[in-house]
Amino acid sequence: MSFSLAHALTGLFWLGALLLLGGLARRASLWQQGRSASVSWLGLLAMPKRYFVDIHHVVAREPAVARAHVAAAGGGVAILLLSALNYGLMLYQGWLDVLLVLMAVVMLLGARMMQARRLQAPPRLSQGRWQVLPARLRLFALGSLLAAGLLFAGPQLGLAGQLIAVVALLMLALGGAELALGIGLGWPMKHAVAGLLHLAFHPRVERFAGKSSDLKPLNLAAGELGVAKVEDFAWNRLLSFDACVQCGKCEAACPAYAAGQPLNPKKLIQDMVAAQSRGTDPAYAGNPHPGREATVVVKPGEDIVGSVLAAETLWSCTTCRACVENCPMLIEHVDTVVNLRRHVTLSRGEVPGKGSEALANLRNTDTVGGYPLAVRYHWAIDLDLPLLQPGEHTEWLLLAGEGAFDMRYQRALRALVKVLKAAGVNVAVLGAAERDCGDVARRLGDEAGFQRLAQANIATLAQYRFAHIVTPDPHVFHCLANEYPALGGQFDVWHHSKLLEHLLARRAIPLKADATPLPPLTFHDPCYLGRYNDGFNAPRNVLKGIGIKVVDMQRSGRDARCCGWGGGAAFTDIPGQRRIPDMRMDDIRETGTGRVAVACPNCTAMLEGVVGERADVIELAELVVERLA
């Protein structure tokens, strides 16, 4: 009896393996629709490290789910490996059956935990096939347990044993179908295969070696104009969409979704899956883009934007990277949004709201707001701020950015210059030679405009001699530090928070001696300083250095909510139920401090633009200048 059950298991194993391979081939043919991408096969070797280290960093933020996944997936993989040995290779060793029983118990426990979570599933989780997955996994684990147990202790059981064997095989077949057919039919277990391959062939492979948040330049000369159709994605992007587990962490973190704007990052990725699979996968069973239908109609051959995806969805994104930060499958949502925007902007020229006006201003005046370049440093007229001449040397070059045209932010800039002067820092500015860094152009998809500005700035900066660049604008900072190198501009760029921290640590800033305790305040992390560049500590150290206690908001640091400006969202201004800065102001009110420190001209404008009673918005440098001796 045990002999025939063992052979049945061998048959079942190989049948499952064949179905899985067939499914993978089918899925791979979908990925092959995409463009070629330069990937290294060595990625397959790096996969275990990326799985156990990089993914674990994200998953471990939710320990209960992490434990459940370790048990279910670990047990499942162990069962499959042991089965491959014992039954696939027909070793039929009793001690392997003992191990199988143990692993089946582990998997059973994991699946049980997942099922318990599904009983009170948070709304961000997708329903449908995902809801029944834990039960299917339990079935598989139980089948494995019974079969292996039976083979170990079988001969004594007789007729009962045969009955149990039939039941076990049925369970294995039903549960195993979920594993074997997932990748081919787009069922939930697709994520295991696609997810592992995604780790091996990740489109942003440098993120495993350190921070990587820069957008990649388009080769405009080669006619690259962003993504219009599925075929314009690189094949490993298409693969990355299939890795999605629809956990909805992106949805829960997305400020646009919370504001009721028509963007749900999870749905966006699933829209891409629907587009590449031409709607053959099971229907999406999660939350839709707010205010939109959940169903999509895929029209093969048509552009993605306008058929599968509404343009408003695309333009709601603030590129705050909260989704990317939270994605346990390391999917790069922002890259996808910008790639699609590039097509809409570069090919169609359809930028909504004031976005097209901002881009026209950048083309015509090199400023977002359409200001004359000559007035950028008018606020510094009485500050004796040297204008750097070509050939002259300065230690620090200050780039004020677009905030220099905003009368409110000019107060912060004046404070910064006064602090730097008091600290004896050798600082100068470019005056009318400074152009916009191109951040808004790039996030709005105008890659041509960005590259023009970046190359012009790089050529300008090459004429001057300076050791470091300092800027109070995280967007300027990010562009120069992370995105100009790809275009040949290598600069040592500091955000002013880091310079102030450095000066305070060296006691270079003369502070008032009297230690009158200052009231605590809260700090709003700018996305492009925090999540984009891990600049979480410097501004907090500055506040600590001048004796102010920071009461962090519930969503701060890595989880900070965007102010709503980024990605040109303040210009495209897609309507929603609420405004993102209003929600952020609610977060600030919750701390009860009544004051918020900011470190970005755009956060300043967005938070000060909140109507009604609101907290005081104070720039970092303004707080330091108050403490100057």
Binding site residues, other proteins, CB under 8 A: 220, 225, 345-351, 356, 359-360, 363-366, 370-373, 446-448
- Looking at the chain, the number of H-run helices and the number of E-run strands are 26, 7
Question: Is 612 in contact with 531 (CB distance < 8 Å)?
Answer: no
| Amino acid identity, position 155 | P
Which string of DSSP letters, residue by residue, matches 448-497?
Answer: HHHHHHHHHHHHHHTTSEEEEEEES-HHHHHIIIIISGGGT----EEEHH
Question: Is 550 in contact with 543 (CB distance < 8 Å)?
Answer: yes
> Distance between alpha carbon 189 and the CA centroid of its chain, in Å?
23
Question: Is 432 in contact with 367 (CB distance < 8 Å)?
Answer: no
Question: Is 541 in contact with 501 (CB distance < 8 Å)?
Answer: yes
HSE-CB of 367 using CA atoms within 13 angstroms: 19
Question: Is 555 in contact with 530 (CB distance < 8 Å)?
Answer: no
> Distance between alpha carbon 399 and the CA centroid of its chain, in Å?
28
Q: Evaluate the CA torsion angle 596, 597, 598, 601 in order and state its sign.
A: positive
Q: Which residue has 């587009």 as its token pair?
A: 275
HSE-CB of 200 using CA atoms within 13 angstroms: 15
- Give the Cα separation of 38 and 236 in Å (integer): 9
Question: 261: closest CA among 231, 230, 292, 240?
Answer: 292
- Give the Cα separation of 480 and 436 in Å (integer): 11
* Residue 518 buriedness (CB in 10 A; 0-12 / 13-18 / 19+): middle
Question: The tokens of 619 are what?
Answer: 């720039």
Question: 474: closest CA among 552, 569, 354, 562?
Answer: 562
CB of 246 to other proteins, least distance (A): 35
For the stretch 402-425, what's the b/e string if a residue is b when 16 or more beta carbons lie within 10 angstroms of its beta carbon?
bbbbbeebbbbbbbbbbbbebbeb
Question: Is 123 in contact with 287 (CB distance < 8 Å)?
Answer: yes
Question: The tokens of 514 are what?
Answer: 């009297």
Q: Which residues contact 142 (CB under 8 A, 6 or more apart)?
A: 104, 108, 171, 175
- Give the Cα separation of 562 and 603 in Å (integer): 8
CB neighbourhood size of 395 (10 A): 12
- Report residue 593: phi and psi, to 5°: -85, -25
Nearer to other proteins, 9 or 448 (CB): 448
- Give the Cα separation of 143 and 135 in Å (integer): 12
Question: The tokens of 181 are what?
Answer: 């057919």
User: What sections of 327-473 are H helices per DSSP?
Assistant: 333-342, 355-365, 407-422, 439-443, 447-461
Question: The tokens of 115 are what?
Answer: 């099922």
